[in-house]
Structure 1
């Protein structure tokens, strides 16, 4: 990553705005932290998906359980989409390298 390229980070500001990183290396401390957070978010998303499937399979699940599962699933999807955008931008930036 060149110093002029920004990496979309896997977290937002307290008011929900995106955070970006400009670093000289993909191996900088903050880049590695972002990689670790992305991995944790994806792992959490797998757990949320399993829980949501269980709630949906339970014909006796109430509205509160379904709403909770959908809320968590929405949060996980938002994380996964942010990660996909960030990784896609970095892959695209790599195509322009000599």
Structure 2
């Protein structure tokens, strides 16, 4: 299983710089979204959810059970938390005009 998100490498828009990418990093493209709208933010939330599920193998079936491992669940929660924090900083920078 992959370790929780070390760095979130996102495709930057509006001149925002992305964190450095490592072997265990997650990339969530958002260049095509208008994050100033509710629709754009909902689309980003869906992308974060899908990317975190894949990154943490949350939906991967394991032999003998359909229940995700506790490690996968923790990874998923932490990955989503970090991704949302990262994008919140980007949105704040855009609002200020950075």
Which range, TM-score by smaller chain? 0.3 to 0.5
- TM (norm. structure 1) is 0.44
Specify which structure has the higher proportion of helix: 1
Please, what TM-score do these two structures have when normalized by structure 2?
Answer: 0.44
